[in-house]
């Protein structure tokens, strides 16, 4: 297939001079001058069309050789269907050039040359990765970065088009040639944005800052656009600016080389306010990006004082320099809807819709799908609503808690916040760009507000739980404060990072996603994990997505981060091993099938390092007693039982959670691979659990899933089940939250890494050979109990609950009393919020009829003249227990009892109101 040509549009063409310049400059890093010509003599063993393609892409001999080896590996594999050789060759050349750091072409060039759409390109690379050594971790990381950048660019361009459609007159009308002028302005605007984005941001996949920068560019062009091409309200907003803007004739009179005298930065914010209102974002944040980053960029390219609309050709030439340097996508092609950058089209029928209504009710209109930009702006708005009224300093209540301490910690806390601010802003600027220091400062302020807010909520809960007000030990604990502020900042950073809720994999060294925040403050993951659960419970306004994110952070810690060699976890395990029973005290196997009680607070985990496990009654001692130990030191009870074997509360809870996460992961993988051998799951789990409990050194600098896959392979091996590692890895990639580095880059010994197969052969099997062989003997080891898997502890107050007996009525806690309709999403606007001013009385009456009905579970039974059936799920269980099996006592369930009490109370209140109203009416009649 001949290579496809670029679009004939001016912005999509590279001049011959630019192509020659590109050919002369781009080559192997560190090698100046022209790229060495491909030696045809060295490649006679390869197919001529392949060599010809290498010449078109100007690759080196080394890249050509490696790409051919990759191609031969693919040909030898029976798992790959080769449709078009040329496309696969292009992918092989990209992989080889990336691996060798010898990229001599851009992504767009290779796409054009072999005829690949961007989505096809990414899919082809994924299909190639059938063997664990076909594509390296280095290439995976590069591809992940490219995917993320493309998704951000696509989202930004789609929003750019929609916004421009509301700003500019798109077609010619009575104004004459307004349409073409508007199109040319849009072309220049997008190109200037690409240039600004590449110069201002080091992290080009940051959606929020990029979008704010786009609004700055739009504002710049609106103020310089002729009024005839503008629509309202932007025409009126820019009206005052146009009165002082030179006419086109006067601008032309300046000549191309002449520029208007520099002027101070424009402070008229009317256009910016109109743009921010249209796009539902904060004016202050966009203004900050404008004055701290965009103005400096304009000055660097000589546009700071100009009132002209920059020429598209001039901007395009400057962008080419950036494009050739990055060697990825030519984002100007979005303007021409070039096929190489077009996404997969979404079927209209797949758009989100509201729940189906009764046919007798009004017709349902589809809710527009939430775009990445809108989702990001909504998340930020929700966070701002929560924190706008919060203080940058401790509240009066917090100050009281501080003053109740033996030594007031206020000064130490303030000093720590100041020091952490400097660390955070410095690292943020280094990652995102030095011109974004003020942006980092703004985000740190939000984090501090959330930090003080959650701290106060935690202390208030502890006071209610323990009936004490002196929290000296907790408030003087540096790890607690550092972890709490880091967690608050993680919430802020994740809110601004749209990709956080889309993918869990890290895409580059400058990625701000978790665990970046741990590295900023040199905070140990095991210390950070202690605060996560209490943080979630202390801040009820967290969105469902944010709770899931923090839960995922906890999982990442349990999977790998806490197992790094410098983790304090290993010291706790060493101390536990020195006692009789060793690691068994971290979590006895017999306790696995018991409920995991989530009643430990941050104070318990930070300040109660030990407790007695020798008696169940003592291990579940009263909360007040545990809390008092946390604040006042070892109690007399602890001292009396000091001769008993003690264990760490934080270690015990950590191991319980690790076991449950490990079994969940195993269960998912097992269901993909071994459904026909259900008896093996319990055996595999026993080996897996044994390794975690007795051979935890195998986890040092490794991943929980590496042990899981090895245990599965080992048991299948001794049970004569044909299951290859390649099959395990293929299924593993289908699990949620997996990364290819887990099975491609496994620690073998210090400084040496290899695949999961090498780890199994050289490490896992060697260490556990005797134990593994026992499972093939007539007397195998006793099977470990399967962990009890409760519902997530983080869904107790945030998940909407369906009202039994109804079709479309759900009850959900009100996130904030200050949530106004202006900041709500199209979906949230249709929800009914009890206590707010919107909604009709008829809707409330219908809801009240359903809620007040106390015999939901009995209706169907009475109608069919049969005995009432128990509820399938206990929706409002006050004890927090999950009765998924539907079991209950012979009498009424707790739920029905509670419901009856609520109904009775409501009835009495209504009767009392009627009596009071009657008395009042009588009084009025008398007067």
Q: Say if residue 515 is preceded by a cis peptide, omega within 30 of 0.
A: yes
- pLDDT category at 23 given cuts 50, 70, 90 is very low
What's the rounded Cα separation, in Å, for the pair 870 and 887? 7
Confidence at residue 255, expressed as pLDDT on a 0 to 100 scale: 39
Q: What letter would DSSP give residue 783?
A: P
Q: Outline where DSSP puts E strands in 751-808.
A: 752-754, 801-802
- pLDDT category at 75 given cuts 50, 70, 90 is confident
Confidence at residue 476, expressed as pLDDT on a 0 to 100 scale: 94
Phi-psi region of 24 (alpha: psi -120 to 50; beta: other; left: phi over 0): alpha
Q: Give, in degrees to the nearest 5, the angle at Cα 417 between 415 and 420.
A: 110
Give phi and psi for 753, each to the nearest 5: -130, 150
The helix/strand count (H/E) of the chain reads as 40, 4
The residue written with tokens 């890249």 in the block is 63
Q: Which residues contact 675 (CB under 8 A, 6 or more apart)?
A: none
Q: Is the pLDDT of residue 205 over 90?
A: no
Q: How far is CA 339 from the centre of its chain?
A: 29
Q: Are 331 and 194 in contact (CB under 8 A)?
A: yes
Lowest-pLDDT range of 274-288, 492-506, 641-655: 641-655
Q: Are 132 and 73 in contact (CB under 8 A)?
A: no
Q: pLDDT of 836-890, one tens digit each? A: 444 556 655 666 665 555 444 444 444 444 444 433 332 222 333 333 333 334 4
The residue written with tokens 């009495």 in the block is 908
- E strand or H helix at 746, and its extent? strand 746-749
What's the rounded Cα separation, in Å, for the pair 387 and 453? 9
- pLDDT category at 360 given cuts 50, 70, 90 is very low
Q: pLDDT of 111-168, one tens digit each? A: 999 999 999 999 988 888 766 667 888 998 899 999 999 999 999 999 999 999 999 9
pTM, two decimal places? 0.76
Q: pLDDT of 577-634, one tens digit each? A: 876 554 444 555 545 454 445 567 877 788 654 433 333 333 333 333 334 343 433 4
Q: Rounding to the nearest 10 degrees, give the CA dihedral for residues 633, 638, 639, 641.
A: -170
- The closest alpha carbon to 766, from 719, 714, 693, belongs to 714
Q: pLDDT of 478-522, one tens digit each? A: 999 999 999 999 999 999 987 766 554 444 445 889 999 999 999
DSSP class per residue in 283-331: HHHHHHHIIIIIHHHHHHTT-TT--SPPPHHHHHHHHHHHHHHHTS--G
DSSP class per residue in 59-115: --HHHHHHHHHHHHHHHH-TT-----HHHHHHHHHHHHHHHTT---S-HHHHHHHHT
Confidence at residue 675, expressed as pLDDT on a 0 to 100 scale: 92
By DSSP bridging, strand 801-802 and strand 752-754 are unpaired
């Amino acid at each position: 297939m001949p290579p496809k040509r670029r679009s004939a549009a001016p912005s999509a063409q590279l001049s011959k001079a630019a192509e020659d310049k590109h050919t002369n400059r781009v080559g192997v890093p560190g090698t100046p001058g022209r790229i060495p010509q491909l030696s045809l003599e060295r490649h006679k063993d390869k197919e001529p069309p392949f060599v010809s393609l290498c010449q078109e892409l100007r690759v080196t001999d080394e890249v050509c050789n490696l790409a051919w080896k990759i191609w031969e590996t693919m040909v030898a594999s029976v798992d790959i269907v080769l449709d078009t050789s040329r496309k696969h060759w292009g992918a092989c050349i990209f992989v080889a050039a990336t691996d060798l750091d010898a990229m001599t072409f851009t992504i767009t060039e290779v796409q054009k040359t072999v005829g690949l759409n961007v989505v096809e390109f990414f899919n082809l690379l994924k299909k190639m990765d059938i063997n664990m050594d076909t594509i390296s971790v280095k290439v995976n990381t590069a591809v992940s970065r490219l995917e993320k950048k493309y998704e951000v660019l696509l989202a930004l361009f789609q929003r750019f088009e929609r916004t421009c459609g509301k700003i500019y007159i798109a077609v010619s009308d009575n104004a004459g040639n307004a349409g073409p002028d508007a199109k040319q302005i849009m072309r220049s605007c997008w190109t200037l944005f690409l240039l600004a984005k590449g110069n201002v941001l080091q992290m080009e996949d940051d959606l929020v800052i990029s979008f704010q920068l786009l609004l700055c560019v739009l504002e710049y062009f609106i103020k310089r656009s002729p009024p005839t091409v503008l629509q309202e309200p932007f025409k009126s907003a820019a009206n005052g600016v146009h009165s002082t803007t030179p006419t086109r004739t006067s601008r032309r009179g300046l000549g191309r080389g002449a520029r208007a005298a520099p002027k101070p930065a424009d402070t008229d914010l009317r256009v910016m306010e109109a743009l921010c209102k249209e796009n539902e974002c904060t004016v202050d944040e966009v203004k900050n990006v404008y004055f701290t980053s965009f103005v400096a960029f304009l000055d660097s390219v000589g546009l700071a004082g100009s009132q002209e609309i920059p020429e598209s050709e001039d901007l395009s030439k400057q962008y080419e320099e950036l494009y050739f340097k990055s060697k990825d996508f030519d984002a100007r092609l979005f303007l021409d809807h070039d096929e190489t950058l077009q996404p997969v089209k979404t079927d209209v029928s797949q758009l989100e819709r509201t729940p189906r209504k009764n046919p007798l009710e009004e017709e349902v209109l589809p809710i527009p799908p939430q775009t990445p930009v809108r989702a990001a702006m909504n998340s930020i708005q929700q966070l701002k609503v929560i924190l706008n009224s919060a203080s940058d300093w401790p509240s009066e209540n917090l100050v009281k808690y501080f003053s109740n301490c033996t030594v007031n910690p206020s000064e130490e806390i303030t000093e720590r916040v100041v020091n952490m601010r400097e660390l955070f802003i410095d690292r943020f600027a280094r990652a995102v760009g030095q011109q974004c220091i003020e942006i980092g400062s703004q985000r740190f302020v939000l984090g501090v507000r959330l930090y003080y807010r959650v701290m106060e909520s935690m202390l208030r809960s502890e006071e209610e739980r323990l009936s004490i007000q002196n929290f000296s030990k907790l408030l003087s604990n540096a790890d607690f404060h550092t972890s709490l502020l880091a967690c608050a900042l993680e919430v802020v950073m994740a809110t601004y990072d749209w990709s956080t809720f889309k993918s869990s994999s890290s895409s580059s060294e400058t990625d701000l996603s978790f665990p970046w925040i741990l590295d900023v403050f040199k905070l140990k993951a095991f210390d950070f994990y202690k605060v996560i659960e209490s943080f979630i419970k202390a801040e009820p306004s967290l969105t469902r997505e944010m709770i899931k994110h923090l839960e995922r952070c906890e999982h990442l810690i349990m999977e790998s981060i806490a197992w790094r060699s410098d983790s304090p976890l290993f010291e706790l395990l060493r101390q536990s091993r020195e006692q009789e029973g060793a690691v068994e005290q971290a979590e006895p196997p017999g306790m696995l099938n018991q409920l995991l009680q989530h009643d430990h607070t941050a104070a318990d985990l930070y300040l109660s390092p030990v407790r007695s496990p020798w008696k169940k009654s003592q291990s579940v001692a009263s909360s007040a007693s545990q809390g008092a130990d946390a604040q006042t030191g070892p109690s007399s009870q602890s001292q009396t039982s000091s001769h008993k074997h003690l264990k760490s509360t934080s270690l015990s809870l950590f191991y319980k959670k690790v076991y449950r996460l490990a079994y969940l992961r195993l269960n998912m993988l097992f269901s993909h691979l071994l459904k026909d051998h259900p008896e093996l799951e319990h055996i595999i789990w026993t080996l897996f659990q044994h390794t975690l409990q007795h051979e935890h050194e195998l986890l040092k600098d490794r991943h929980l899933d590496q042990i899981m896959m090895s245990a599965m392979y080992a048991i299948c091996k001794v049970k004569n089940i044909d299951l290859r590692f390649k099959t395990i890895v293929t299924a593993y990639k289908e699990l949620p939250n997996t990364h290819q580095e887990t099975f491609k880059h496994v620690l073998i010994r210090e400084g040496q890494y290899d695949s999961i197969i090498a780890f199994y052969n050289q490490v896992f099997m060697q260490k556990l050979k005797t134990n593994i062989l026992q499972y093939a003997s007539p007397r195998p080891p006793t099977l470990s109990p399967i962990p009890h898997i409760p519902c997530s502890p983080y869904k107790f107050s945030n998940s909407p609950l369906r009202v039994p007996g109804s079709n479309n009525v759900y009850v959900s806690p009100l996130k904030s009393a200050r949530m106004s309709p202006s900041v709500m999403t199209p979906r949230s606007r249709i929800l009914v919020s009890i206590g707010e001013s919107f909604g009709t009385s008829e809707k409330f009456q219908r809801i009240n009829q359903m809620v007040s009905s106390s015999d939901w579970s009995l209706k169907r039974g009475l109608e069919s003249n049969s005995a009432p059936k128990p509820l399938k799920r206990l929706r409002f269980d006050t004890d927090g227990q999950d009765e998924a099996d539907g079991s209950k006592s012979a009498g009424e369930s707790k739920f029905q009892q509670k419901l009856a009490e609520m109904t009775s109370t409501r009835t009495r209140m209504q009767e009392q109101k009627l009596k009071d109203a009657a008395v009042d009416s009588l009084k009025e009649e008398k007067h």
